[in-house]
A and B are shown apart, each in its own frame.
Chain A
Amino acid sequence: ETGVTQSPTHLIKTRGQQVTLRCSSQSGHNTVSWYQQALGQGPQFIFQYYREEENGRGNFPPRFSGLQFPNYSSELNVNALELDDSALYLCASSLGGTTDTQYFGPGTRLTVL
């Protein structure tokens, strides 16, 4: 069984640029959730995708967008990067349903200069 993988591991961007982060879900999982984790804090929910449709969104502006593909992999796109976007971005996959236990990938560390 393959776990959740994310790429790239680290990324450095400048303010105003755009970034795309990628996630491959665990085998058999059809739901992907994205979280932002600032230094010293718990992860904050960005949005969730279920079978290629957005299935819920946290308190993040529209410049945070995403996609889920037919193989259930996913992308997180962030436009017009701001310094406060510097964080660890985590992807979690799950089976969906009533017991939606989420399994996390290792994360992508984004630094905005």
Chain B
Amino acid sequence: GQQLNQSPQSMFIQEGEDVSMNCTSSSIFNTWLWYKQDPGEGPVLLIALYKAGELTSNGRLTAQFGITRKDSFLNISASIPSDVGIYFCAGQLAGSARQLTFGSGTQLTVLP
């Protein structure tokens, strides 16, 4: 089945620094989504991308849908302590069941 390679697996950064993480796939996806998950909670949608090349921002977050439709990245600028959590990319294929295929997650720790 499809697999998403998400990197890095974990990051330790200083408060105020910028962060970048990405996902790559061997399959072409029609939609890329980025979620953040806090411990014991469900994933919360951060950004949804629907077109190849699309660049979308949500506050300090910016994500892009790769031109090849096989990759996406998420940038967080000027990190703050509440950015701590696990970030997941998810890709969605066209079809009758628009199931999400998730990456393995990036654990972000923000140091004061």
Binding site for B on A (CB under 8 A): 4, 6, 31, 33, 35, 41-45, 47-48, 55-59, 90, 92, 94, 96, 99-107, 109
Contact = CB atoms under 8 A, between A and B. Distances in A.
Interface of B: 1, 4, 6, 31, 33, 35, 40-45, 48, 50, 88, 90, 92, 95-105
A59 B96 contact: no
A42 B35 CA distance: 11
Given A31-B98, A42-B104, A90-B42, 14 more contacts: A33-B99, A42-B88, A42-B105, A43-B102, A44-B102, A45-B99, A48-B97, A48-B98, A58-B99, A102-B45, A102-B98, A106-B41, A107-B42, A109-B40
Contacts of B33: 101-102
Closest 6 CB pairs between A and B?
A56-B97, A42-B102, A104-B42, A100-B98, A45-B99, A106-B42
Contacts of B41: 106-107
Highest count of chain B CB atoms <10 Å: which of A44, A47, A57, A94: A44
A56 B96 contact: yes
